Structure 1
Amino acid sequence: MAISSKLLNPGEKVIIDTRTHVKALIAPVFFLVVLLAIGTYSEVSLDNRTFKWVIWAVLAVGIVWFVLKPLVIWATATYTFTDRRLITRSGVIVRRGHDMPLARISDIAYEFGPIDRLLGCGTLVISDASTHGQIELHDIPQVEDVQRKVNELLLQAHGTPGGHEGV
């Protein structure tokens, strides 16, 4: 899952490299089971061969749309924190990316509900001073640990390693 080294500047080190929690695949797996159940039911209970082929063709489109598309989106989206910046990448055909220098981050928080707590993930909310306001990275695994590590990176980026200011 590591980000390509050609995206890094000389001397830049990857600190955190993650993607959306596998929870994002629960709905696609559910749709796959339902669509295959419909296909199996039609195969067993219908006599008209042409109608069966039409049903399987519609189910194939449904599988591509509701199962493969979310799977590809999940597999291609990465969130990487280096010692200098946040790098987000997603997409296959149309590749999207966003880089934010750590020095521009003014606050980092996390949110999670009961399901997120049960699954060990949450939303990382990154605030900066620009007009963009906030970036929300949804369903980040072990979001509290990631937030803690990013806070350490921010302290180092702002010149206060280890959190000790002017002792």
Structure 2
Amino acid sequence: MAYPDDLLVSGERVVLHKHPHAKMLVVPVLVLLLVVAVCVFVAALVREQTWAPVAWIALAVVGVGLAVWLTLVPVIRWRTTHFVVTTRRVLVREGVLSRTGIDIPMSRINSVQFRHTALERVLGCGTLVIESASDEPLEFTDVPQVEKVHALLYQEVADDT
């Protein structure tokens, strides 16, 4: 999905648009599988009881509630988090109902660093650290292909000067 062009200023174009690494979705998916397994197990345990239909309805309500809260919400949060590099700035946008964002002009970026653990290297992600002229360094975790993003961002900063 491309970043909305109407949010860009005249002459600005998107160079890179990423969501956080998909590793953020591993735990929510495992939780979904666990919730389904527990609900099926408990439903099978109570099937011989006279109150089984009521228990099944209660299990369905609890199971759907947990699935929405522990799986759907993190997936939507992941999908609505944007890391965008344009020809003029770096933008980060997060949130669905209440949105937060930060814009860092290329001219204000002093240095760009990255780091990743051994596991993150295997998964192809890491942390990007951007040091701007007036603020403390900003860290963006779970950036996919962090080394490529670092190189691209460094090139954009060098082209801006």
TM-score tier by shorter-chain length is over 0.9
- The Cα of 1:56 is off from its aligned counterpart by 2.3
Gaps of 5+ in 1: 159-167
Provide the alpha-carbon RMSD of the alignment: 1.2
1:129 aligns with 2:133: yes
1:100 aligns with 2:104: yes
1:31 aligns with 2:35: no
Alignment of 1:7-46 (within 5 A): 7-46=7-46
- The Cα of 1:51 is off from its aligned counterpart by 2.5
Whether the aligned pair in 1 keeps the contact of 2:43 and 2:55 (CA below 8 Å) is no
Instruction: Give 2:145's match in structure 1, choosing from 142, 147, 151.
Output: 142
Question: Hey, what's the Cα distance between the residues in 1 that align with 2:137 and 2:61?
Answer: 42
1:155 aligns with 2:154: no
The C-alpha deviation readout for 1:84-136, integer Å capped at 9, x for no partner, is: 001111211112221110111111111111221111111111111223x1221
The DSSP-based 3-state class of the residue aligned with 2:66 is helix
Question: Hey, what's the Cα distance between the residues in 1 that align with 2:15 and 2:57?
Answer: 50
Detail structure 1 runs of 4+ shifted over 6 Å in the superposition. Answer: none
Question: Hey, what's the Cα distance between the residues in 2 that align with 1:49 and 1:119?
Answer: 44
Q: How many residues align?
A: 157
One-letter code aligned to 1:29: V
Question: Hey, what's the Cα distance between the residues in 1 that align with 2:147 and 2:13?
Answer: 21
- The Cα of 1:154 is off from its aligned counterpart by 0.8
Q: TM-score, normalised by structure 1?
A: 0.89
1:91 aligned partner: 95
Alignment identity in percent? 32
Question: Hey, what's the Cα distance between the residues in 1 that align with 2:119 and 2:74?
Answer: 20
- The Cα of 1:55 is off from its aligned counterpart by 2.5
